[in-house]
Amino acid sequence: AAGVIQSPRHLIKEKRETATLKCYPIPRHDTVYWYQQGPGQDPQFLISFYEKMQSDKGSIPDRFSAQQFSDYHSELNMSSLELGDSALYFCASTLRTVGETQYFGPGTRLLVL
């Protein structure tokens, strides 16, 4: 079965640089979520999109922005990167019906030097 695809899988950036993370949800899923997981931490919700519209926003820094495109893929744009942005970034997708779980992608490991 198709899973959530994320790219790149690993990314190394310098402080103050920008990064773009991409997410391709499971086909026919209409909702995408982004989560950030620091080392040894639980995942923290950043932002979500339902049918290409932003549906909820969590603890996402103003330096970050995201969007969902017409083909349902989503991109997380991160600017002025800081050391503390180093983390695993997960995208998850779901079909917004009762009982549907969120399926997580493999994650992008971002290291800011």
Partner 1 sequence: ELKVEQNPLFLSMQEGKNYTIYCNYSTTSDRLYWYRQDPGKSLESLFVLLSNGAVKQEGRLMASLDTKARLSTLHITAAVHDLSATYFCAVDGQGGSEKLVFGKGTKLTVNP
Helix or strand or coil: residue 107? coil
Sheet holding 74-78, edge to edge: 5-7, 19-24, 74-78, 64-68
104 binds partner 1 (CB under 8 A): yes
Query: Could you tell me the smallest distance in angstroms from the CB atom of residue 77 to partner 1?
Result: 20
12-71 binders of partner 1 (CB under 8 A): 31, 33, 35, 41-45, 48, 55-56, 58
What is the separation of C-alpha 35 from the centre of its chain, rounded to a whole number of angstroms?
6
Query: Could you tell me the smallest distance in angstroms from the CB atom of residue 56 to partner 1?
Result: 5
89 binds partner 1 (CB under 8 A): no
90 binds partner 1 (CB under 8 A): yes
74 binds partner 1 (CB under 8 A): no
Q: Per-residue b/e over 30-43, b at no fewer than 16 CB within 10 Å?
A: bbbbbbbeeeeeeb
Tally of CB atoms within 10 A around 18: 11
Query: Could you tell me the smallest distance in angstroms from the CB atom of residue 48 to partner 1?
Result: 6
CA 102 to CA 100: how far, in whole Å?
7
86 binds partner 1 (CB under 8 A): no
Residues that bind partner 1 (CB under 8 A): 31, 33, 35, 41-45, 48, 55-56, 58, 88, 90, 92, 94, 96, 98-107, 109
